Amino acid sequence: MTIKKHQNDNMEDKQSSESIEDKTKSVDPSRRRFTKSGLAASGVILTLASRPVLANAVCKSPSGFLSGNTSTHIVEMCFGNYPDYYANNPQAWYGTQYQPGTYNNQKENSNSIGNSSSTNNVDKWVGGTQFQEAFTGSRRFPGRSMMQVLWMGDPMGAHLCAALLNAALGLTPPLTEARIVDMCLEYETKGYFEPIAGVHWLEGDIIYYLQSLA
Amino acid sequence: MYLNGKFKMKWQIISSDQALYFHSWDNEYVVYNSLSGDTHLLNLTASRVLMKLQQSPTDAITLTKLIASTDQSESNAEKELQIEHLLAELNTLNLIEKCQNTITYTPPSCR
C-alpha cells in the first residue's frame, strides 16, 4: 500500500482565496475514496498556511495574522527590528518618545550614551523610560527601564519593548503602540491575548507573532 | 525500510503553549494550529492520531493498536508503516515532534 503524502500542488493552494468549505467541495471524489481505503493514506488532505510567500514582509494586525492573507496583493510592509538591535543601538531610539537611558561606564563621560556592545549587566543602564511608564497599567518589571528589560533575558518583555519601539518608529504599520500596550495588559490580566473572539494566544504565540513583524 | 526500534520512538505535540482547534464534518476534520497559524484538513485517522498525541506522548505501535481499522486485509506491519508515514507528515507540518531522536543532540524531553 503506497502512502499518499501531502502533495506540492496542494501547498500552492495556500495562496488561493478559496475558503476551506470550497476546498472540501472541490476534493476529487476518487481521492476521497482512496483516503478511505488505507489506514492512514492521505491523512493530511490539504493545508492552508497562514504565512504568505513573502514571509515577514507583509505586516498583519493580530487578527489578520490569524486569518491569513490569502491574497497575493501586498498591503503593507514590515521593517521591524529584533530586541537585540535596540539593546545594542540606543541611538536607534531617537525619534521616539522613549529614552534608552545612560550606560554607566566609569571610563566614559557620565552623560554620554556608552557603547553598549560590551554591556552584559542590566544594572549598568540607568535612567531611561521605565517599562511601566511605557506600558501604563502593567505590573511587570517594576523599577526597570525598557533598556534594562531588553537586557534581562525575558523573551516576552524584550519583544514587547522592541515591538513598541518599532511601532513608534512607524516600522510596523498595522500594529500601533496602543495595541501593543493593550496586548501586554490583556496578557497580564487574563494570562492570554485574544486577537479574535475565541482564540487565545499564550506567551509563545505572542512572541511568535511579534517576531513575524521583524 | 526502517531501523529496529524506530517505531518505539515517541511523538508529542510541539509545545504546551500549542493549541489545536478541531472542527469536524462527517469523517474529516479541520484543525487550526495556534503555533504556526496554519489550518489543516485531516481525515479521521490523522485527526485521531493528533488527538491522542494531545493527551500524551505515544509511539507508532501504540497508535496503530489504538486506531487500527477493522480492515483485516492489511497486516500489522503495513498498518504500522502507514502510521509512521503519517507521523512524519504531521511532523513536517509542525503539528508534532519526536520525543527522542537517534541523532546525537539533546532531544526535547517527553512531557
Prediction ipTM score: 0.74
- Residue in B87, B109, B12 with CA at minimum distance from that of residue B42: B87
Write out pLDDT tens, residues A61-101.
677 666 554 444 444 566 788 898 899 889 999 989 999 99
Q: How far is A204 from chain B (nearest CA, A)?
A: 6
Range of the domain at B93: 6-98
Burial category of A136 from C-beta neighbours within 10 Å (exposed 0-12, middle 13-18, buried 19 and up): exposed
Q: CA-based Rg of chain B, rounded to a whole angstrom?
A: 14
CA distance linking residue A181 with residue A201, whole number of Å: 15
* Whether the Cβ atoms of residue A141 and residue A132 lie closer than 8 Å to each other: yes
pLDDT value of residue B49: 92
C-alpha cell of residue A48: 492552508
* Whether the Cβ atoms of residue B39 and residue B49 lie closer than 8 Å to each other: no
Count of C-beta atoms within a 10 Å radius of residue A17: 9
- Sign of the CA dihedral A190, B30, B77, A9? negative
**A185 close to B (CB below 8 A):** no
CA distance linking residue B54 with residue B46, whole number of Å: 12
Burial category of A5 from C-beta neighbours within 10 Å (exposed 0-12, middle 13-18, buried 19 and up): middle
Residue B107 falls inside a structural domain: no
Q: By CA distance, what is A44's nearest residue in B?
A: B42
Domain boundaries, chain A: 8-49, 83-212
Which whole-number Å values give the CA distances from A100 to A92, A130, B36, in the listed order? 9, 9, 33
Mean pLDDT of all residues in B11-29: 80
* Whether the Cβ atoms of residue A180 and residue A164 lie closer than 8 Å to each other: yes
Helix or strand holding residue B27 (H, E): none
Residue B90 falls inside a structural domain: yes
**B30 close to A (CB below 8 A):** yes
**B46 close to A (CB below 8 A):** yes
Q: How far is B65 from chain A (nearest CA, A)?
A: 12
- Residue in A85, A77, A45 with CA at minimum distance from that of residue A60: A77
How many domains does the structure of chain B reveal?
Answer: 1
Write out pLDDT tens, residues A130-169.
999 999 999 999 999 999 999 998 889 999 999 999 999 9
Residue B84 falls inside a structural domain: yes
Count of C-beta atoms within a 10 Å radius of residue A213: 24
Q: By CA distance, what is B15's nearest residue in A?
A: A204
Q: Which residues, in sequence order, are CB contacts of A6 under 8 Å at separation 6+?
A: A44, A46, A47, B89, B92, B93
The model's pTM: 0.46
Residue B25 falls inside a structural domain: yes
**A197 close to B (CB below 8 A):** no
Write out pLDDT tens, residues A19-40.
444 444 454 444 444 344 455 5
Give the CATH number of the domain where residue B56 resides.
3.90.930
Residue B26 falls inside a structural domain: yes
